[in-house]
Amino acid sequence: MTVPRRDFAFGFQIDSASQQTAQAGYAAHVDQMVRQLLLTSPGERVNLPQFGCGLRSLVFAPNSDALAATVQLRVIQGLNQWLAGIVTVVDVTVGNSSSGAVLEPGTLEVTVTYTLVETQTSQAVMVAVA
């Protein structure tokens, strides 16, 4: 019998039942890593100053096709740099309030579809950045 893989949960916390470090299933752990990458700005982490996509810095950029292309490029580059071998990017879509999406003004909605390399299962993460 194979035991399902588990990893540390993000944010770091203590499980109240076991009094040990909280854990998450592998797919949930990778989901958390993708969210962390998308929502971190370069320079925010002391030991990894290049880590992150810098999406928050683009929130007030003029809504256009160029903005969507820039966000897609940053996300794909970030995932390929920091999570290569863990995920394979399938698609990145960007929505904003001017693209017909029902969003608050100045909000970007980024949806990343990826395949977990270890299990070959598809996952999707949606992050709204305001």
Q: Rounded distance, CA 8 to CA 25, Å? A: 9
Q: Rounded distance, CA 20 to CA 93, Å? A: 38
Which of 20-24, 25-29, 33-37, 82-86 shows the lowest per-residue confidence on average (mean pLDDT)? 20-24
Q: What is the per-residue pLDDT across 73-106, written as a single tens digit (0 to 9) for each? A: 999 999 999 999 999 999 999 886 555 556 666 6
Per-residue pLDDT at 1 exceeds 60: no
Q: What is the mean pLDDT of the chain?
A: 83
Rounded to 5 degrees, what angle do the CA atoms 24, 122, 124 make? Answer: 70
Given a contact cutoff of 8 angstroms between Cβ atoms, the answer to whether 41 and 19 are in contact is no
pTM: 0.79
* Count of CA atoms in the C-beta half-sphere (13 A) of 12: 0
Per-residue pLDDT at 36 exceeds 70: yes
Which of 2-6, 58-62, 92-96, 108-112 shows the lowest per-residue confidence on average (mean pLDDT)? 2-6
Structural domains of the chain sorted by starting position, each given as residue range(s) with its CATH number in brackets = 6-129 (3.10.450.40)
